[in-house]
Amino acid sequence: MIDRARRILTVLGALLLVGGLGLGGLRVVALASAEVDAYSLPTQLEGTGGEPHRELVRAEINAGSSVLFEVCAEADLDESWVGAVEFMVWHPEDEGIVIEAPVDAELLGRVRRAPWGSCLTLGRGDDIPIGGTYAIEAVWAEVPRRRMGDASRPEPGVGPGRELPPSIRETPLVARIAATSSLGDDDFWTLLFVLAGALALSLGLTVPPPVPAPAPTLTPRSSVAPTFIGTIAFILGLFALAFVPFSGSVSAYGRGLVIAALEVGLALALVPPLAAWTRTQRLGLLPPKRLYLVAVAPILGVLVAFLGNLIGAFVPSTSEASIESLVAFSSGALALGLVSVVVPVAEELFFRGLIFGNLERRLGGSRAFLVTIVLFALAHLPQQWGNWGAASSVLFAGVVFTALRWRSGSTLVPILAHLAHNAILVFSRF
């Protein structure tokens, strides 16, 4: 009876997982095709002569989109810009101004600074009512305005240019218009199906050890070496992928699924032999020594998520991590969410199942604990580089998940905690 229930859970989990990932992938493609991320080339403002304003970038935006208008400079936007330049977002089709943003102390207080320069958010909004062309323009002179109802913009070719300081005139500016659709209830249910599939599959593959269980044997050095080589090669591959010029949520989604598949494949291929044990049993997919941990693990995972965010808030960042720019768009947020509710199974089988289990038999629990934590943190470093708060949160989560594996004797426990941890982070976006 129990074996039949496990088989049903395994089949159901696989169907939910494959179906949810397939539908989710189609949705990511659809969202990405409708998104806009328009950048201007680096542009310098003219201080004298010519028209005292310059259009920086324009883009077509669909009605109902969530939008972001910003201007970035390859320098520090400081007090010298106050009163010298005004940025505008306008609608060329009716010449109506959408946003007027004179550079003042209040606006500079919202500047996002980075080692390469700084960015100024002119405005953002959800579900814009009017679609069409939008443009960002810089103005540096008081000129007559053309009234358009309650809106106005500089009349082209009128008024003298203001002499701008060299520090402003010679600073390259890059304007950006980004637009994305909002996620909906269907996306929530897709994520829920994938999460349910991962959970059902993990429970279905969990099988007690053979009876009578053979005594644990010391893992031979010849079996440890392939694990170390495979692990180091995998982590180096992750660092290499971080520098491959893949762009967009679709490629990120595919890359995330490939990495998860590689983790599972390596875990199954490199797990050392143990008489009468299946590969999944050797990877620790066993009932925990204390069954109540099955119920406690998800609660611990939620606590780790909240505490990790708290820890991350106290650690400063030096730059924006690549993963942050990805989730700024709905397609990227959905792609990351789908991958995030799958990777706990893959990562736990690889790090806590293969690596920790192998090293524990060879080196003992304490050394296996430390090595696994370090390798887990290194594997996540490429996607968190620059955002040290997020990297600290990952390190903290790795410590807790590895401790759960060590004390419970089961990979199922950290899988459940990891699934709950990622689920609370993903679903909080809804």
Q: What is the pLDDT of residues 190-223, one digit of tens each?
A: 999 999 999 999 999 898 887 766 655 655 555 5
Cα(111)–Cα(44) distance, integer angstroms: 19
pLDDT over 80 at 333, yes or no:
yes
* pLDDT at site 246: 52
So what's the pLDDT on residue 255? 87
pLDDT tens, position by position, 250-309? 888 988 898 899 889 888 888 887 777 888 888 889 999 888 889 999 999 999 999 988
In whole angstroms, what is the distance from residue 2 CA to residue 12 CA?
15
264 in Cβ contact with 349 (< 8 Å): yes
CA-based nearest residue to 259, from 274, 244, 281, 276: 244
d(CA 348, CA 361): 17
Per-residue pLDDT band for 21 (boundaries 50, 70, 90) equals: very high
- Entry pTM: 0.78
pLDDT tens figures, 118-157:
888 888 887 777 788 899 998 876 544 443 334 444 444 4
Q: Do 343 and 26 contact (CB within 8 A), yes or no?
A: no
Q: What is the pLDDT of residue 360?
A: 86
Nearest to 67 by CA among 150, 179, 210: 179
For 398, residues 6+ apart whose C-beta sits below 8 A from its C-beta are 351, 372, 373, 376, 377
Identify the three-state secondary structure at position 310: helix
- pLDDT at position 38 over 80: yes
Out of 23-32, 223-232, 375-384, the most confident range is 23-32
Q: Residue 303: what pLDDT?
A: 95
Structure tokens at 245: 């010029």
237 contacts: CB under 8 Å, gap ≥ 6 = none
- At 265, phi and psi to the nearest 5? -60, -45
Tell me, what amino acid is at 293? L
pLDDT of residue 147: 36
> Does the pLDDT of residue 159 top 60, yes or no?
no
